[in-house]
Structure formats: C-alpha cells, structure tokens
Structure 1
C-alpha cells in the first residue's frame, strides 16, 4: 500500500515575553499550591525553590520540544528538501535550533545553581533575593534567544502550507496555460471533484485527484497558478518550488489548446511546453478541444505536434486512449504523475 508522505509541522515558537509570562504564572501557582511544613525559613526555601524549579522546567520543556519536534532538515525526502530550501534558510534554522538547545541547558544549570544557593541562606529576605536573582538571570537568557525564536517562528509560518502526498504511487502532473481544460481532464480521469491542498507560492493550492485501474492507484496533481507562465518570468524561489515538483512527477501531461478559446495564442503555449520539457522528463503532449477545430486546423496542429494525443475533455473524446497511454508507461514510473496548469 502506498504511504502518504507527510511533512511534520514545526511547533509555533513563542516570543520571549510570552514564554516568560507563562513560566512566571505557573511558578506562582505551583508555590501557592504547596503544603510546606516546618519552620518559616524552611517553608520559604521550599516555596522559592519550587518557583525557580517550575519556572525553569516550563521554559526548558517548551524549548526542548521546539528542538525535538523539528524534523531533521538534512534527512528529508528530495521533494521536501528542495521545497524547504526554497522557503527558509536551512542553515539559519539549524543554527537557531542549536542555540535554543543550548539555552535550555543554560537554564537548567542556573536552576541548579540557585536552588543550591538557597540551602545556605539563613534569612527570609535572603530566600526571596535568591529567587529574584534566578528569575533575572533566566529571563535574560531567554531574551538573548529572542532572535532564534523569531527565526523558528517565521519558519513555522512559511512551512505550514507544505502539502502531504503519497509516495510509491504513480503520479501525474498536469501542465499548461489557464483555461486549456486541465481541471476537466482531471475530473474525467478521476470521476470526481479534485481535493485542494495548500502549496507555497500559489494562492490556489494543489488540485489532487486519484483513480484506480486494474488494482493500481494513480495520483494526479494539478498546480494552478504555478506552471502557467514561462520560467523566465519566475523569480528564483518560484523556480526552486517548481524544481521540487520534479521529485514527484513521473509523467507530466502538458495540455495545449489550439482553438483560441483559452485566451493564449498557440505559439506562446508551445514556448511554455519547451520550458516544461527542459525541467521535466516523460512529458506527454495533449491537444485539447479538438471538437472546436476544423479539419484544416487539425492538420496544422498535427504538423507542429506530431507525437501529441488529441482529445476533447469536455466530451470525453480521446480520454480513454490517453489513459491507456498513461497506464502503458506505468512500469517505467517510480511513483508519481504530475499535472501543471
């Protein structure tokens, strides 16, 4: 059974003020809830030690979870590795994780140091003074980590929209200009409305669909707003996001509309096709809306696109033949077929 590849989301990193406020509040409640016994000085030492301990534990637990819950950025599958690199500065994130881990260790050391000093105090005023010193030094340590917390918080926001996809499943990516019929073809192949998953660099997200033939399941990905214009019009980060899709696409179905109804001239569409061929292997060229073409136009297009598959997705004409072509090459696929629009 195909496994779904899920990017483990980063935890939201609090600001230093948020973290300290939470720690102070918990420390105060814990001290108030204590049922200490003994002489006044002994009770004071117990309460102040509890405040220091709970404050330290609250902060250290949060910082440690930030580090341990973050997936190893160096051991990600290729798709995620390239996508993450397009979204965040991986070296900065790694350095910040190391700094946060170091901060937790420093706070643990400060906790032990001040609790040890409490044992030697002989006055009530001295116990509160030690606790204030501990609070101050721990607070300063947390605030010094503020920039690193901000980097992790920013990374969490940017990586929140990374989609989950199936691995070891033949995947089809649909490409082509807007309005050439990609969504209609996806519906024809899957027999259902596509699911929408978020994807960075496009506000429209990914359209995901699945279909089964002969006990084999296929994954179809349509990327509206991402592969709908020439690569030279893309910024470097967008190009890297597109490059990440190479690790998913076993086959790209590139759709052309020579009818003129999509709003883009045919030469411009052919230029985008050449871009896609430079970026992806296993490209199937599909001529759509053939039901709107006269015989002369069909001959002209066949001359320009000799190996293309001619279909009319709106009427299902040629779609079964296209599906057979896709299925016939499944033995060459490592896992996925991607559609771009």
Structure 2
C-alpha cells in the first residue's frame, strides 16, 4: 500500500467518521516518508467536520469505495458519512452532508443475570475504628528528611499529617461507595429484596451521604494542609495543624452515623439467602396455613434450612431434592391473601418477587378442608389471578389434607357468588383439574407427587438450558457479524490504489 500527501488546495471531499472515539483517533500515529517524523492525527478537528492538514496521508479504495479518500483508521469504522466542502476566505465549510445508514444490527438478548451480589459487599469498618485508625497513622507521619530549617520542617510535617488523615478517612469511604453495587445493575430479585428490607430509596440515600462525607473531608483536609504549608513560623504551623485535625474530626463526628448505617446495610444484605439460578427451583405457593412447609419437609432429601429475612420474624424453608444425582431446590413462600397488590405486606410481596423474577416451577397448594382460615372461594380467586399473571411458569396443583375432606365441601358464610359458579363448585369438591390429592399424615398421594415433581423439575432444567443456549447463540451471532465487517474492511484495503494530485 502506498500513501500520498493530500493537497489541501485541490481536495473536494473528505470522509468523516461518526463513531470513532477521540482516544482511538488521537493515539494513531502516521509516519511521514518525506519528513521522517511522527505526527498525530487531529481527531478533534476531524470529528467536528473539519479537514485534515496537508501533512496527513490518505488512501483510496477504487473497488469498494471509488473516489473516496480516507485514512486507514477511519476506513475500519462502521458508520461513515461523506461531507462536501467549499473554500471561503481561505477556510473550508461543509456544504452537503450525506447521513449514514442506521445500524440495524440486532442486539443480543440480555444475559442471565446472576444473584449473589450481596455476598460480595465490602467489609465496612465501624466509624469509630475509621477515625481512630486514621488519627494514629496520621500522627506517626514524620517530616521529609533533609529539611534543616525548623519552621519549614514543622510546616512540612503538619501538611503531611493533615494530608495523611484526610486520605486515611477518604480512601475507605471511596472504596465503600465504589464497591457497593448500583441498584440498577442488580438482579431484579435482589432489587426487590433491598426495597422490601430497607425501604424505597434508603440504600441510595445512605451511599450518597457517605460520598458527601468523603468529599467534605477531602475539601477541608486539602484546605488546612495548604494553610499549614504556607505558615510563616513553627508556632503558626503547629496551630494550623491542631486546627486542621480538630476540624476534620468534627466533620467526621457530625456525620459518622451514615457510616454505621452503611455497616448495618452490609450486614443485613449479606445475610440474605442466595438462590442459584442455574439450579431448577420448585416454589410452593398458596394461601397461609395450607400445608406448604409440611410438603417442603416431605419433598426435601435432607433437613430444610430456615432462611430468615430481615423484614419478617418468620423463617422461609429452603430444601434440596436429589433425583439420580441431580440436585434441585425447593422453597416455601409466605401465604397470599385475596387483596390488591398495593395492600399486601412485605411477606406477600416477597412471594410475588420470587414468582416475578426467578425462573421457578410452581407447586400450588390448595386446602379445601376448611382448616387454613381462607375460604375456598378466596383461594380460588387467588389461584386464578396468579395462574393468569404468571403464565410463563411450569405449574403443578396439589390439594393438601385430603384425609380431612368430607363428602360435602366446607362452605363459609362469607362466601360470595362467583361469576363461574360451576367452576367454583367443581373447585370446592376436588380442586383444579388435574390436581393431586395428598396427605402428609396418611402419606396418601406422596409417591405420585414426588414423581410428578421430578418430571416438572426436569422440564424446568431443559427450559433453563434452552434459555442459556439461545443467549449464547445470540452473542455468538453478533460477534460473527462484527468479525465479518472487520474482515470485509481488511479485504477492501488490499484493493487500494493510489490517486495522485
């Protein structure tokens, strides 16, 4: 490939790039054969639509882009447009701009977000430990060696100690702010847990206050270090040092509570249960006291763990099911009542968060015996609402406590007429169509339930694998398209010819 100088007197067109960053453009060096030295491409002028000076070399491709002259680095860019210029008063002014075609390349579907960010939170030191450690380290700082003048040595010592105190406080605070995850980038389930546990906006507010404290400490520390360095005598330097240390301590003492609040947040979030998204999970759902916890004990291979959430004193059971070396998760959820979402408590919102954001299979538990405290008509309404709302989940229905069912179903005095009376009457007798009748007490139906659960979890595993494969294929397809575009550009360079002026 040969390069020739572009004569500014004779050019009529220049290729402008729309999607090249200044960092890339400014780092490109073009070797001049005539002058034997390196010159940096003026990317700022280029991106603003100005022309290159005559010292920049260009090439043209007559096969793919005839009559277009450009520097090689611009040719490799995806979005290119051509500007026409005219000379006026010795300057070049754009006359016609040809817009580029929009990039219609499809973006890949978002990768499966992982949970577990709470276990990666940084260890937050108590505020009293931060200030105590910072003061001890700052007082141990000695002046720079070799300063003979007493006043200058004291000024140097005071400035260095104030700077050290400022850094010993500001650096940990900056580490906390940077390493606590932005709630926007968390998994939706973990975002829901933060809102249920801490309240909406509290997490961000505490981080903002910690960052504000850091900025105040840095500002005051730099200010007093500068005052100390400009002292005219040893006594003044000592006074400036004492004043600066006292001021930084006062500022930190006034707002130290936000650091302790952040410490409490870290402890609370780190104790949250973790669910593995790659392991199929069976979620037991239903009204309160329908027997979900008992079924978790029956289905779990070992003893279920009790997962505690900060916003409730009631533990949530989490167990594991092992079928032929395959390991699955099974979890209980708080019971749901018949009411609108805005009226639900945090326990019910946790159940909805699990169904909304986690790839779980649903084992819905019905109790028609009359002992759970929720009428069959209310259970039916809750069931219908959830079934229509979460259609993407695999679903299995179970009627618990079947040993207590009588010949005539229990009818509550609070039962109201239902639009679908026939469907409701059938529900009162035997539950939803295809439901399995089980009894933990008599072990009736438990063998069939375990077989159906095994089949359901295998289907859930296949669903997870398909989702992961589709996402990997989308990413691979996008990478291949980008690679083809780059290879096409490289092939085009091989066909470059030289234009002389």
Which TM-score applies when normalising by structure 1? Answer: 0.76
**Cα 1:154/1:191, change in 2 over 3 Å:** closer
Match of 1:310 among 434, 437, 440: 437
SS in 1 for 2:370: coil
Match of 1:74 in 2: 184
Match of 1:27 in 2: 138
Match of 1:248 among 358, 362, 367: 358
| 2:213 matches 1:85 | no
**Cα 1:277/1:237, change in 2 over 3 Å:** same
The Cα of 1:105 is off from its aligned counterpart by: 4.7
Moved more, 239-248 or 229-238: 229-238
Kept in 2, the 8 Å contact 1:172–1:221? The answer is yes
Match of 1:331 among 449, 454, 459: 459
Give deviations 1:32-90, integer Å, cap 9, x for gaps: x8998856445534543443133212211221122122012111112112332344466
Kept in 1, the 8 Å contact 2:210–2:258? The answer is yes
Match of 1:260 in 2: 370
Moved more, 52-61 or 238-247: 238-247
Equivalences for residues 1-341 of structure 1 within 5 A: 5-8=115-118, 9=121, 12=124, 20=131, 23-28=134-139, 30=140, 40-41=150-151, 44-88=154-198, 93-94=203-204, 97-98=207-208, 100-101=210-211, 103-105=213-215, 107-108=217-218, 110-139=220-249, 142=252, 149=259, 152=262, 155-156=265-266, 159=269, 161-223=271-333, 226-232=334-340, 234-235=343-344, 240-246=349-355, 247-248=357-358, 250-281=360-391, 282=393, 283-293=395-405, 301-329=428-456, 330-332=458-460, 334=463
Relative to total residues, which structure has the larger helix share, 1 or 2? 1
**Cα 1:141/1:198, change in 2 over 3 Å:** same
SS in 1 for 2:327: strand
- Please, which runs of 5 or more residues in structure 2 have no aligned partner? 1-112, 411-425, 465-501
Which structure would you say has the larger RCO, counting Cα contacts within 8 Å and 6 or more residues apart?
Answer: 1
SS in 2 for 1:58: helix
> In 2, Cα distance between the equivalents of 1:155 and 1:83?
12
Which TM-score applies when normalising by structure 2? Answer: 0.55
> In 1, Cα distance between the equivalents of 2:427 and 2:381?
17
**Cα 1:279/1:141, change in 2 over 3 Å:** farther
